[in-house]
């Protein structure tokens, strides 16, 4: 019989433990070290492969988680970047109400009305004279200089006026008439008259009772010759509070006033406005003094 006849063939792809046993080999329990080495190498290869695949999956998962965390931390509820810290109410222990002190509501008293003080003799107690109402030796109005001359004060109201004005004043309780005369360039002279009453109603009634024939008597003196006694002159009349005030303007030389004599009209308007402001200022000073008490 030839060599090897009847023996099973050797398979190179199988481990030693699975190879057929030759007839002269021992069947004892001695370990097959080659087979064990092959099995160990196979397990290690499979373990390395699983670690590589698992590591790649884990890296992708961690990267996704980090990306989601970054986007969530830098996004507001509206999808826009949040560049400011949360308000104090959103912080632990924060409170907006505790940071703002509260005070009881207060309000300043309304200012006193100057007109109230010059509308009644009961409240209009400040000193009153031609010099207190028209102080100084001259006044500049709208860049025009007016020089003060004669002044007078009388409780006989009818003696200081002419025409229909005496009746208008006395019928409504006039208590006093003060007059002051001013001059300006061009020989223009203007007498200002202020009639005093107890109440604003009396002064208003007296003014409404006047007409174009209600004329203030001019006041010459202190270097001013008589004027507007026989010549044509320009007059104005008005009232504020318990005061009615009038002007009579013309030329100190006795010349008649015409519509072309704008200087006379301007002087009368300037001094009428000045008189109004002085009376109102009287009310302001008394209102201020009362408010400071």
- Full-model pTM: 0.63
pLDDT at 44: 63
pLDDT at 16: 54
In a domain, 101, yes or no: no
Instruction: Kindly report, residue by residue over 141-162, the tens digit of the pLDDT.
Output: 999 999 999 999 999 999 999 9
Res. 193: pLDDT tops 80: yes
* Range with the poorest average pLDDT among 84-88, 131-135, 191-195, 281-285: 84-88
Stated as kind and residue range, the H or E segment containing 8 is: none
Give the mean pLDDT of the chain: 79
* 146 and 284 share one domain: yes
Q: Are 229 and 218 in contact (CB under 8 A)?
A: yes
* 141 and 253 share one domain: yes
* 216 and 127 share one domain: yes
The CA-based angle 255-157-155, given to 5 degrees, is 125
In a domain, 103, yes or no: no
* 66 and 125 share one domain: no
Tokens coding 280: 């109102």
In a domain, 100, yes or no: no
**Where residue 279 sits, what CATH number does that domain have?**
3.40.1000
Using alpha carbons, select from 195, 175, 199 the residue that is nearest to residue 116.
199
**How, if at all, do strands 144-154 and 188-196 pair?**
unpaired
Domain that holds residue 179: 121-291
* 157 and 233 share one domain: yes
Q: Are 245 and 279 in contact (CB under 8 A)?
A: yes
* 127 and 67 share one domain: no
The CA-based angle 135-254-207, given to 5 degrees, is 55
Res. 101: pLDDT tops 90: no
Q: Are 238 and 272 in contact (CB under 8 A)?
A: yes
* Range with the poorest average pLDDT among 17-31, 94-108, 265-279: 17-31
- Number of folded domains that form the chain: 2
DSSP code of residue 199: B
Last residue of a domain, one of 51, 71, 91: 71
Res. 85: pLDDT tops 70: no
In a domain, 99, yes or no: no
* 145 and 242 share one domain: yes
**How, if at all, do strands 234-240 and 144-154 pair?**
unpaired
Q: Rounded to 5 degrees, what are φ and ψ at 216?
A: -80, 140
pLDDT at 238: 97
Q: State the pLDDT confidence band at 78, using cuts at 50, 70 and 90.
A: very low
In a domain, 11, yes or no: no
* 53 and 190 share one domain: no
* 266 and 207 share one domain: yes
Q: Are 247 and 192 in contact (CB under 8 A)?
A: yes
Instruction: Kindly report, residue by residue over 36-73, the tens digit of the pLDDT.
Output: 566 666 666 666 655 555 554 444 444 444 443 333 33
pLDDT at 71: 38
Tokens coding 171: 């019928």
In a domain, 43, yes or no: yes
* 136 and 277 share one domain: yes
Angular region, 42: left φ>0, alpha ψ -120 to 50, beta rest: alpha
Res. 286: pLDDT tops 60: yes
Q: Which residues contact 186 (CB under 8 A, 6 or more apart)?
A: 263
pLDDT at 3: 41
Buried-exposed string 195-225: b where 16+ CB fall within 10 A, e elsewhere: bbbbbbebbbbbbebbeeebbbbbbbeeebe
In a domain, 18, yes or no: no
Res. 5: pLDDT tops 90: no
Q: Residue 264: how many CB atoms within 10 A of its CB?
A: 24
* 130 and 223 share one domain: yes
* 66 and 185 share one domain: no
In a domain, 108, yes or no: no
């Amino acid at each position: 019989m030839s060599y090897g006849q009847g023996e099973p063939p050797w398979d190179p792809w199988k481990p030693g433990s699975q190879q057929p046993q030759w007839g002269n080999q021992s069947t004892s329990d001695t370990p097959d070290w080659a087979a064990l080495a092959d099995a160990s190498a196979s397990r290690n290869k499979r373990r390395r492969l699983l670690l590589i695949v698992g590591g790649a999956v884990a890296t992708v998962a961690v990267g996704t988680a980090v990306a989601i965390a970054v986007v969530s931390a830098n996004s507001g509820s509206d999808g826009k970047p949040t560049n400011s810290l949360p308000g104090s109410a959103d912080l632990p222990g924060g409170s907006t109400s505790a940071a703002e002190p509260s005070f009881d509501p207060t309000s300043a008293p309304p200012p006193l009305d100057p007109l109230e003080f010059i509308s009644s003799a009961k409240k209009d107690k400040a000193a009153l004279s031609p010099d207190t109402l028209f102080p100084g030796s001259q006044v500049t109005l709208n860049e025009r200089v007016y020089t003060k001359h004669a002044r007078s004060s009388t409780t006989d109201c009818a003696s200081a006026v002419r025409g229909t004005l005496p009746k208008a004043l006395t019928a409504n309780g006039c208590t006093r008439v003060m007059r002051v005369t001013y001059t300006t360039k061009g020989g223009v002279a203007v007498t200002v008259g202020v009639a005093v009453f107890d109440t604003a109603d009396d002064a208003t009634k007296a003014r409404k009772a006047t007409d174009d024939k209600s004329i203030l008597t001019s006041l010459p003196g202190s270097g001013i010759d008589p004027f507007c006694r026989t010549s044509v002159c320009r007059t104005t009349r008005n009232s504020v509070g318990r005061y009615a005030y009038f002007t009579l303007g013309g030329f100190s030389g006795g010349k008649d006033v015409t519509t072309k004599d704008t200087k006379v009209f301007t002087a009368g308007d300037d001094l009428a406005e000045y008189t109004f402001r002085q009376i109102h200022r009287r009310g302001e000073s008394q209102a201020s003094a009362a408010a400071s008490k």
